[in-house]
Copies of this chain bind each other. A is one copy, B any other.
Amino acid sequence: MVFAHVGTLRTVAGKRDDLVALLIRRSDALDHVGCLLYEVGVNDHEPDTVYVVELWTNADAHRASLVLPEVQASIARARPLLTGELGGFDFDVVGSPLRDV
């Protein structure tokens, strides 16, 4: 079942764009481990928050991605940019009005 992860990452003041740049670095590794969609965004009403929406082939693929060396390195680089305040939620996709199944 397709797995969705939605997240909000609170950054240290002024570091939002640094985190965005880090998160949108081109990554073939994510493709190969079942990442179907990974959108990074901002909302000017929340100047110190970065938003992510991810779709994965399943929850296991998402979990497996977190231990990839490339992802671990990215997390390490992101850590000083973050306050530690993380939000969001996960869910299993059950359908869409844009397709029949």
Closest to A8 in B: B89
What is the count of identical protomers in the complex? 2
For chain A, the bracket of interface size reads 35 or more
Interface on chain A toward B: helix, strand, loop, or mixed SS? strand
- CB A73 to nearest CB in B, in angstroms, measures 13
Which partner residue on chain B sits nearest A29 by CB separation? B97
List 19 additional A-B contacts (Cβ < 8 Å) besides A40-B94, A53-B55: A4-B39, A4-B51, A6-B51, A6-B53, A8-B89, A26-B99, A27-B98, A38-B98, A39-B55, A40-B93, A40-B95, A40-B96, A41-B91, A41-B92, A41-B93, A42-B94, A43-B92, A51-B89, A53-B53
